[in-house]
Amino acid sequence: MDDENSTEGASSSGIPSEPVRSSVTTGVTADNELSPPAVSPPVQDAPAEPPLETTTTAEVPTDASTPTTADEAVVTDSPEPVDVVAAPTGRQPQAASGNPLPRVMAVANQKGGVGKTTTSVNLGAALAELGFRVLVIDLDPQGNATTGLGIDARNFELSMYDVLMRDSSLEDCVEPTSMKNLFVAPATIALAGAEIELVPAFSRELKLKRAIETVIDDFDFVLIDCPPSLGLITVNALAAADEVLVPIQCEYYALEGLSQLMRNVHLVASNLNPRLDISTIVLTMYDARTKLSDQVATEVRDHFGNKVCRIVIPRTVRLSEAPSFGQPITAFDPASRGAIAYRELAKEVSGGTS
Ligand SMILES: Nc1ncnc2c1ncn2[C@@H]1O[C@H](COP(=O)(O)OP(=O)(O)O)[C@@H](O)[C@H]1O
Ligand SMILES: [Mg+2]
């Protein structure tokens, strides 16, 4: 996978000069050891229908320099949603919907900028809107989930650094947000130190797991927003979680590094946390105007089957604006395409209402 970081083979437009399909596959075929779409436990509830027409015109896009097309406005990843959005059997339920509560999900992908934080915040908010009690744990020293949920570093005393490094109680660290049912365990830049300070610590991989055990009775979903690395902080998240949710950006090199993430998940599963499973893959920043988005989506679905959510998250500027207002998209612009997509995703991931 030495060629992964190279831009050779890509034209100036960013579109690879080789057929994209084979280029994109490069990231996957190296992963022959990766588990193909796994055998999943029986699913209780069927997922929500693809959003189809209801999602087509909710938002006047402010980010589009080209005119809106019908394709662009849909949340699903194809102009003909049934072909691509549905799993191969057409009606196969998404793998993890209906997993028993409480569910602890690590939102992980060591690539930066793929939508981990956006998904943690907005899926969390949408699940809370459905009536689930949701805790978002910010494990990224950048603290973007914290500020994105309107929590100002000056207004809290304890952060995840204190929980991991000073054995402070997670319950004391948890802050309410302006959304009912939605809570956040904040992070500050101090957490950057934990990556190194944890190295000599006793039970260093299990600190988060132990902390979550003390509050889990209070929540239906715990979403752990991981940093863009596979260090000890992410290992803590993987050791604490039942499931991994992997956001994959619908861009070239989308699959780069995924095999490494898989290896780490398998390592943690075999050494620390046998129940860990990559249950959910979310395609993010889908742009219906580009063929590449479709190609990546198809490639990911071919490889991961029904782990890939039918709902894809569109690229929309409203989603990138919301954090600076300290609000999830469901509050910032409730009728926008991004809000609709994350609401539909919440239904799909949870299997319904609480
Ligand atoms: N669907 C989307 N449409 C447009 N911008 C997005 C979308 N998802 C994320 N972004 C923006 O992309 C950037 C990276 O997203 P982020 O969620 O912070 O990724 P990560 O946590 O994986 O680093 C942020 O500026 C975010 O606002
Ligand atoms: Mg992030």
For residue range 316-350, what is the model confidence (pLDDT) as tens digits? Answer: 999 999 999 999 999 999 999 999 999 999 999 99
Residue having the nearest C-alpha atom to atom 24 of ligand 1: 320
The backbone torsions φ and ψ at residue 157, rounded to the nearest 5 degrees and listed phi first, read -95, -40
> Do 199 and 289 fall within a single domain?
yes
Which residues contact residue 326 at a Cβ distance below 8 angstroms, ignoring those fewer than 6 apart? 147, 148, 149, 150, 151
Domain assignment present for 61: no
Residue having the nearest C-alpha atom to atom 26 of ligand 1: 320
**Comparing 42 with 176, which gets the higher pLDDT?**
176
pLDDT tier, 96 (very low <50, low <70, confident <90, very high otherwise): low
Ligand found nearest the CA of 284: 1
> Do 1 and 143 fall within a single domain?
no
- Structural domains of the chain, count: 2
Domain assignment present for 233: yes
pLDDT tier, 6 (very low <50, low <70, confident <90, very high otherwise): very low
pLDDT at 353 (0 to 100): 61
> Do 176 and 28 fall within a single domain?
no
Domain assignment present for 160: yes
> Do 19 and 124 fall within a single domain?
no
Task: Tell me which residue has tokens 């944890």.
Answer: 198
pLDDT for 218-241, tens place per residue? 999 999 999 999 999 999 999 999
Which residues have C-beta atoms less than 6 Å from ligand 1? 112-118, 144, 228, 284-285, 313, 315-316, 319-320, 323
- Ligand 1 atom, smallest distance to 284 CA: 1
Residue having the nearest C-alpha atom to atom 17 of ligand 1: 115
> Do 314 and 196 fall within a single domain?
yes
Percentage of residues of the chain with pLDDT beyond 90? 64
Domain assignment present for 74: no
The backbone torsions φ and ψ at residue 4, rounded to the nearest 5 degrees and listed phi first, read -65, -35
> Do 143 and 238 fall within a single domain?
yes
Q: CATH no. for residue 218? A: 3.40.50.300
* Radius of gyration, CA atoms only, the chain: 19
d(CA 327, CA 311): 22
Domain assignment present for 58: no
Handedness of CA 106, 109, 110, 115 (dihedral sign): negative
Domain span including residue 240: 103-350
Q: Which of 47, 107, 137 is nearest to 244 (CA)?
A: 107
* Beta strand extents in 31-176 (DSSP E only): 103-107, 134-138, 175-176
pLDDT at 325 (0 to 100): 97
Q: How far is the CA of 46 from the centre of ligand 2 (A)?
A: 30
Q: How far is the CA of 324 from the centre of ligand 1 (A)?
A: 12
d(CA 114, CA 248): 6
> Do 163 and 253 fall within a single domain?
yes
Q: How far is the CA of 139 from the centre of ligand 2 (A)?
A: 9
Mean pLDDT value across residues 104-116: 96
* pTM, to two decimals: 0.78
Residue 165 pLDDT > 60, yes or no?
yes
Domain assignment present for 171: yes
- Ligand 1 atom, smallest distance to 121 CA: 17
Chain CA centroid to CA 84, Å: 20
Amino acid at 301: R
Domain assignment present for 55: no
Which residues contact residue 296 at a Cβ distance below 8 angstroms, ignoring those fewer than 6 apart? 24, 248, 250, 251, 252, 254, 255, 283
pLDDT tier, 93 (very low <50, low <70, confident <90, very high otherwise): very low
> Do 107 and 256 fall within a single domain?
yes
> Do 16 and 109 fall within a single domain?
no
Residue 34 pLDDT > 80, yes or no?
no
Q: Give me 327's structure tokens.
A: 């609000």
Mean pLDDT value across residues 202-228: 96
User: 57 with 73: CB under 8 angstroms?
Assistant: yes
Q: Give me 4's structure tokens.
A: 């992964």
Q: Are strands 175-176 and 182-185 parallel, antiparallel or unpaired?
A: antiparallel
Domain assignment present for 207: yes
Adjacent-strand bridge partners of 222 = 104, 135
Which residues have CB less than 5 Å away from ligand 2 (the ion)? 116-117, 140, 144
Q: Which of 100, 125, 122, 347 is nearest to 216 (CA)?
A: 100
pLDDT for 248-295, tens place per residue? 999 888 888 888 899 999 999 999 999 999 999 999 999 989 999 999
- Ligand 1 atom, smallest distance to 313 CA: 1
Q: Are strands 221-225 and 277-284 parallel, antiparallel or unpaired?
A: unpaired
User: 289 with 314: CB under 8 angstroms?
Assistant: no
pLDDT at 200 (0 to 100): 86
pLDDT tier, 18 (very low <50, low <70, confident <90, very high otherwise): very low
> Do 33 and 173 fall within a single domain?
no
> Do 154 and 261 fall within a single domain?
yes
> Do 27 and 118 fall within a single domain?
no
